[in-house]
């Protein structure tokens, strides 16, 4: 079953690679350049999963997670950190609501395995809204 996955990053190459990999698995892959754009897309698209970088100008990954989890419309969307951040960054993101961590750089096979595992463990277990 295809899912909608939103990738939020400030690196266009990471966005392209991640969305292309997700598309090869049949998912609807959305890309948002930066935190503000990601928050807007999360609101309008209501993706099944969000992959999020930590280091971004403007609203960083921590700020994005905090705002997503504070908003009733987006608080139930699982968020996974996709970042080269430190262990402390990963801990901050986890405390804010991220349910997983994919380190950058990533191997395509490992990236897809982790995303599939997370989708199977979270999204497949909850009822989907009329999509």
pLDDT tens for 4-62 read 999 999 999 999 999 999 999 999 999 999 999 999 999 999 999 999 999 999 999 99
Cα dihedral across residues 84, 90, 94, 100: positive or negative:
positive
**Which domain does 29 fall in, by range?**
4-106
pLDDT, residue 1, reads: 67
pTM (two decimals): 0.92
pLDDT, residue 67, reads: 97
**Looking at residue 52, which CATH number applies to its domain?**
3.40.50.2300
> pLDDT category, 130, cuts 50, 70, 90?
very low
Mean pLDDT of the chain: 92
**Widest CA span in the chain:** 38
Number of compact structural domains in the chain: 1
């Amino acid at each position: 079953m295809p899912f909608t996955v939103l990738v939020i990053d400030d690196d266009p190459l990471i966005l392209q690679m991640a969305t292309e990999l997700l598309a090869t698995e049949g998912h609807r892959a959305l890309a948002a350049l930066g935190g503000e754009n990601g928050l807007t897309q999360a609101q309008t698209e209501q993706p099944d999963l969000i992959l999020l970088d930590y280091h971004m100008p403007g609203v960083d990954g921590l700020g994005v997670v905090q705002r997503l989890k504070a908003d009733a419309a987006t608080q139930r969307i699982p968020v996974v950190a996709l970042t080269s951040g430190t262990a402390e960054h990963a801990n901050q993101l986890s405390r804010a609501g991220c349910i997983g961590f994919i380190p950058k750089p990533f191997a395509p096979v490992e990236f897809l395995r982790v995303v599939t595992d997370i989708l199977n463990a979270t999204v497949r277990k909850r009822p989907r809204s009329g999509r």
